[in-house]
Amino acid sequence: MVVKQTNTEELRGHETVDEIRKGPKFRPVLHALTSNPGVEMMNYAEGKKDMITLGQGEGDSPTPDFICDATYQAMQDGLTTYGPTLGQWPLRETLSQYYKNIYELDIPERRIFVTSSGSTAMHLSLASLLDKGDEVVAITPIWKNLIGAIELTQAENVQVSLDFDKEQGWSLDLDKLFGAVTPKTKVILVVTPSNPTGWSATKEEMKAILDFARERNIWVLSDEVYGRIVYDSDHKNMRADSFLDVAQDDDLLLVVNSFSKSWAMTGWRLGWIVGPKIAEDKIRDVALYNNLCPPTFTQYGAIAALNEGEDFLKSQVDLWRSNRDILVDRFKSSGNVDMSYPQATFYGFFKVHGQDDCKLMTKRFIDEAGVLLAPGCAFGATAKGYIRMCFAVSERRLVEALDRMDVVLQNS
Ligand SMILES: Cc1ncc(COP(=O)(O)O)c(C=O)c1O
């Protein structure tokens, strides 16, 4: 299914056209942002007692001490001032070395741009590429914030859904993806591994997408923030395939990444982009006027994460793999839930048989089970009926949530 969602299709629930006309004069695009059912459900659950919160995309471990210690040290060393717009050179160099060590790729530091989060990396990328009237062809289901980020640029988002099959899980139909590209298309957006489905593009698919984009001179924007959260890997180190594995150095490719998920650093707000040489000046221009530079001392914590973080990451992924198996077994034995076996990320994306209203189901899990999940309709027009559950918590917490959820599953 291909859905073209224009920015003016849907007004947010609390604003009528009259209210907008009379109200303060914000940019029209802010009135036209599509609604965010995930936030709606968080608001619905707010204040309710004894809630298990599995609706957001983060683990429940604190940032490890060795990362915090390196950050305190940087503060004590006086690294508390503005820094270079595209990041501290020691971090850019460490990222280059990280690509050598973990990805066996040679990415010079000048092609690596440090940003104030993966979200910012995405905004800077989109802001440097898109104008009103341009189109972004995005593979969905997709994290809602990326759709919001496109809407803010006033470009149109064209959503191409992965297909779901009970046996095979989620898969990409390349013909459908390429068929959605028009002369207005400026960017093909891929999230691999995908939040929320756990689907990952194969190397062959990545190569086909890059070849197609190269012929038409359009950009590929790949969000790879879950690239290290994989449960199976053909590579020397546990990691997903990356567009960088199959790209040429000067391809119109921007790969977005983040420190948030792999090293328990969601609150730190640090990410990076890998791009072609020609992007360095342009991303710098946008970043300069956006935030001047990423925070200085936290970048030294990020260096510690890259240099010393492999054991921590492995312990996290081991826990999440075991949680993933518990979740899959429980849903299988419930008999009325469809969910693919996530090979990556820390999300279960499931559908209860016969229940197509994901907001209603999410409310039932809140009210009847005391478990907050994310409604699937937050992940694009084609994900109706699905629900996303983050399993990056302790086994005890996960099992408690699943026990509570049984009430709803048995009565659906
Ligand atoms: C696909 C995807 N990209 C980016 C992010 C955000 O990363 P950051 O915390 O660095 O902004 C998320 C967070 O959930 C995500 O799921």
Co-location of 234 and 248 in the same domain? yes
pLDDT higher than 60, residue 8: no
The rounded Å distance from CA 19 to ligand 1 centre is 33
Using CA atoms, how far apart are residues 134 and 186, in angstroms rounded to an integer?
6
Q: Residue 17 has what pLDDT? A: 66
Rounded to an integer, the average pLDDT of 236-247 is 96
Kindly state the tokens that stand for 269.
């707000």
Co-location of 261 and 148 in the same domain? yes
Q: Which atom of ligand 1 is nearest to the CA of 194?
A: 1
The rounded Å distance from CA 118 to ligand 1 centre is 6
Q: Residue 9 has what pLDDT? A: 40
Rounded to an integer, the average pLDDT of 47-64 is 94
Q: Would you say the CB of residue 347 lies under 6 angstroms from ligand 1?
A: no
Rounded to an integer, the average pLDDT of 120-131 is 98
Q: Residue 15 has what pLDDT? A: 62
pLDDT higher than 80, residue 14: no
Co-location of 148 and 97 in the same domain? yes
Q: Residue 194 has what pLDDT? A: 98
CATH number at residue 117: 3.40.640.10
pLDDT higher than 60, residue 11: no
Co-location of 324 and 303 in the same domain? no
Residue 120 lies in domain: 65-308
**pTM: predicted TM-score of the whole model, two decimal places:** 0.94
Q: Would you say the CB of residue 118 lies under 6 angstroms from ligand 1?
A: yes
Rounded to an integer, the average pLDDT of 284-293 is 97
Using the 3D structure, point to which of 285, 308, 331 is the last residue of a domain. Answer: 308
Using the 3D structure, point to which of 274, 308, 342 is the last residue of a domain. Answer: 308
Q: Which atom of ligand 1 is nearest to the CA of 271?
A: 10
Q: Would you say the CB of residue 223 lies under 6 angstroms from ligand 1?
A: yes
Confirm whether 17 is domain-assigned: no
pLDDT higher than 50, residue 10: no
Mutation test residue for ligand 1: of 189, 221, 258, 389, the one with most atoms within 8 Å of CB: 258
Co-location of 249 and 193 in the same domain? yes
Co-location of 51 and 151 in the same domain? no
Using the 3D structure, point to which of 264, 288, 308 is the last residue of a domain. Answer: 308
Q: Would you say the CB of residue 271 lies under 6 angstroms from ligand 1?
A: yes
The rounded Å distance from CA 86 to ligand 1 centre is 19
Q: Residue 1 has what pLDDT? A: 61
pLDDT in tens, 353-362: 999 999 999 9
The rounded Å distance from CA 337 to ligand 1 centre is 27
Confirm whether 107 is domain-assigned: yes
Confirm whether 132 is domain-assigned: yes
Domain total of the chain: 2
Co-location of 374 and 338 in the same domain? yes
Q: Residue 56 has what pLDDT? A: 92
Mutation test residue for ligand 1: of 39, 114, 119, 257, the one with most atoms within 8 Å of CB: 119
Confirm whether 371 is domain-assigned: yes
Q: Which atom of ligand 1 is nearest to the CA of 58?
A: 14
Using CA atoms, how far apart are residues 362 and 364, in angstroms rounded to an integer?
5
Rounded to an integer, the average pLDDT of 82-95 is 98
Q: Would you say the CB of residue 266 lies under 6 angstroms from ligand 1?
A: yes
Co-location of 221 and 358 in the same domain? no
pLDDT in tens, 95-113: 999 999 999 999 999 999 9
Q: Residue 25 has what pLDDT? A: 80
Residue nearest to atom 7 of ligand 1 (CA): 118
Q: Which atom of ligand 1 is nearest to the CA of 258?
A: 10
Co-location of 265 and 395 in the same domain? no
The rounded Å distance from CA 143 to ligand 1 centre is 8
Q: Would you say the CB of residue 191 lies under 6 angstroms from ligand 1?
A: yes
The rounded Å distance from CA 314 to ligand 1 centre is 20
pLDDT higher than 90, residue 405: yes
Co-location of 279 and 341 in the same domain? no
Residue nearest to atom 10 of ligand 1 (CA): 118
Closest Cα to residue 51, out of 287, 388, 366?
Answer: 366
Percent of the chain residues past pLDDT 90, beyond the cut:
85
Co-location of 393 and 288 in the same domain? no
Closest Cα to residue 216, out of 260, 258, 181, 246?
Answer: 181
CATH number at residue 333: 3.90.1150.10
Rounded to an integer, the average pLDDT of 238-247 is 98
Confirm whether 31 is domain-assigned: no
Co-location of 269 and 344 in the same domain? no
